[in-house]
Amino acid sequence: GTIALADAATIEAAAAAAQAAFAGWAATPITERANLLRGLATALEQHRDELIAICCKEAGKTIPDGVAEVREAVDFLRYYAARAEEADFAARGLGPRGVVLCISPWNFPLAIFLGQVSAALAAGNTVVAKPAEQTSLVALRTLELMRDCGFPPGVVALLVAEGKAVGEQLVPDPRIKAVMFTGSTGVGSWLARQLASRPDAPVPLVAETGGQNCMVVDSTALPEQVVRDVVNSGFQSAGQRCSALRVLFLQEDIADKVIEMIIGAMRELRVGDPALLSTDIGPVIDQKALRGLEDHVRYLDATGRLLHRCDIPETGEHTFFAPRLYEISNLSLLEREVFGPIVHVVRYRAEAFDEVLAQINQTGFGLTFGIHSRIEEACMRAADRVQAGNIYVNRNMIGAIVGVQPFGGRGLSGTGPKAGGPQYLSRLVTTGEEAENAAGQRELPAAGSRPGANQTLAASNTAARLWARRGLNERVSTLRQFLASYARRPEEDQLVLEHTLTAVRDQLRYAVDLLTAPKSLPGPTGESNSLHLEPRGCLLLLLDDDRHNGEYLMAAVSALVGGNSVTALATEELLPEWRALVTAMVSAGLPDSLFCVHPLAAADGLLLDPALGGVMVHARSRHLHAVAQKLATREGPILPLISCVAPTTLLHQTLVEKSVSIDTTAAGGNASLMTMAN
C-alpha cells in the first residue's frame, strides 16, 4: 500500500468535515449509534484474517498478537456501545462536546485507534483521527470498513500526516473540543500546554503515556510461574507495549536460580519473520526505534551486566533487536522508559521490600506493576502502596482486557480515566464546565509574601495520607457532624442554605455507595478483577466569588470524603468566612492541616508545588484560564483542572482509578470454586 502525508489544506478539510457532520451525528439516537459500532465489530471479525495480515506486514506483529489486536478492537466497539446506551447521557442533560482529535500509536494500530474513535463516537462526538504514520494502512482499511457499515460521511475524518503538523494546526483550533492521546510523556505534556493556552481552556485531554513498569518477586514465589510471566511481560510484542515489564526486582535469596531459569526460557525464544507461526518475537517498529535501543545497550554495557542476549537473524534487511536480560544495581540508573525487549534485573534484600515500593513510586511513572508472592499480606501491601494504574498479582503484566482490567496510568503515565473502564465516556460529554466564562477573565494576583508556603502542601499531604487511612465511615461521620453545625449558621436566605445542605448530603450518600467497596469486574474463573478509587492527595480550591459558595462547599466536601486534603485560596473578601468554616470543620473532628485557607495571592507559587495533586476551579471563575495556563507550565505529571459542575462527575474527578487483577489459583487455589453448584 501507499500513503500520502496530508498538507495544511488537507488537515483543514478534515476538521471542517468533522465539524459539518457533528450536528447530525449528535442528533442520531444512541441506539442507532451503538448499532453502527456493533456492526463494525462484526465486520472486523469477518475481515479478521485480512486485518491480521496488515498488522503483520505494517507493524511487524506476530500472528498471535494480531489475533489479540482484532479481538481487543472488537471488545472496545461493543463495550463503549453498551456503556453509552446504559449511561443515556441525553436523558441526564449531558451532550457530546463536538469534534474530538484522536491521536493513536503504532504499537496497537487497530485496538487503540478504534478504542479512542469508538468512545468518542459512542458519546455523540465526531472525530479527526490521526493514526501513527508507521501504521496508516491499518487505519485506512478500517475507515473503508466503517463506510461499508453505514457510518455517515465526515463522522470520522482520517488524517495520514506527521504528528507535529497535525498538532500545531489542530490543537489550537477552537473546533477541537477534546483531545485523546496515547504516546510519549513528552508529547502528552506538550499537548497539555497547547490546550491550556487556548482562550476556551480548560479543554479535556485524555492521555495515556509511558511507564517504568516494575515487577517485584519475593522468595515465596513459584519460580516456574515467575519465569513464564517475566518472559511474556518483557519480551512479547518485542517489548513494544506500554504495559511491558521493564524492571524486575528479585529477592536476593532466589535471584540466581530465577535468573538461570529466565535465561533458559530466553534460549527457546525465536526472533524472526512475524508471519511465521514458529516466530515468538518479531522486529521493532523502525530504524529509529532500533537505534534508540542500541544506544541504551551501550549505556547498559557501561553501567550494568549483560546476563543473556537472544539470537537474531544475521542476514537481510530488518529491524530485529535481540531481547536482552541485564542486571543493574539500582532503579535510578534508568532515567526514562526504554521501549523494547530489555528487562533490567535489580536484586533486593527481604527487609528492603517497603523501600523497593518507595523507589518505584519515586520514579513518577505509574502505569503497570506486578508482584509475585505467596504471602497475601505482602501482595495487598504492594497493591495498596504502589501508585500505578494497573496492579497484577501472581500473573503477567500485559494483555489488559476491555471491561475486565480497565487500562491507564497516573502520574507521568497518564491522566485517566481508564480506557475500557466505566468512567471513560464521562470525559467525552459535557459536565457543566463548558459555561461561558471567557468574558471578564483575570490574571492571578501577584504573589505576595508567603512565609512557610513551601511547607503548606507538604503538611497537607501528610494529613491527607492519615485522613485516607481513617476509613470511609469515619470520614463521612466527621463531615456530617460539620454539616449539622453548618445548618445552624445564620443565613439571609434559608432556601439557599437548605438547597446547599441537601445537595451536599446527597453527595455524601453517593460517596458511600461509590467508595464502600471496590467495584468487582468480570473475568475468567480463577482470576479476581476489581476497580479501586483512591484519593489524588492535596487539591487546591479557588474561592473567588461569593455567589458560588454553595458549589465551593460541594467541591470541598467531595474532595475530603474521598480522602484528599484541601488547600483553599480565597479573595480578601472571602477569607474571614472560609477561615471560620475551617474552624467549624476542625471542631467537628476534621484533622488540623487537612483543610486550610490562604490568600489568593499564594496561588502563583502553590500551583507549581510538586506536592500538588490537582486544582478545583469553578467553571465561571474569572481566574479559570489563568489557572489552566499556570498549571500547564509545571514540570512532571499532567495534573487535573477540575471545573465540572455535575456533582457525581466532580466526585469522580477528585479520585484516581486503580485496577487490580489477581491470579487466585497461584496462591493455592480459589476457595470459591469448591462452593460452585455448576
Contact in structure between 118 and 31 (CB atoms under 8 Å): no
Say whether 208 is catalytic.
Answer: yes
Pairing of strands 324-327, 305-309: antiparallel
Say whether 242 is catalytic.
Answer: yes
Distance (Å) of CA 295 to CA 290, 298, 309, 355:
9, 5, 16, 30
The Cα 102–Cα 182 span in angstroms is 9
Q: By C-alpha distance, which of 102, 292, 121 is closest to 191?
A: 102
Cell 453545625, located at residue? 485
**Paired strand residues for 129:** 102, 158
Buried b (16+ CB within 10 A) or exposed e, 36-63: bbbbbbebbeebbeebbebbbebbbbbb
Query: Phi and psi of 277, rounded to 5°?
Result: -65, -20
Q: Which three cell numbers stand for residue 460?
A: 497537607
Q: By C-alpha distance, which of 120, 117, 119, 123 is closest to 90?
A: 123
Q: Which listed residue (55, 56, 214, 242) is catalytic?
A: 242
Q: Which three cell numbers stand for residue 48?
A: 479478521
Q: By C-alpha distance, which of 85, 203, 9 is closest to 629?
A: 203
Q: Which listed residue (58, 208, 327, 657) is catalytic?
A: 208
Cis peptide before 417 (omega within 30 of 0): yes
Contact in structure between 432 and 92 (CB atoms under 8 Å): no
Compute how many other C-beta atoms are within 10 angstroms of the C-beta atom of residue 208.
26
Residues with catalytic roles:
208, 242
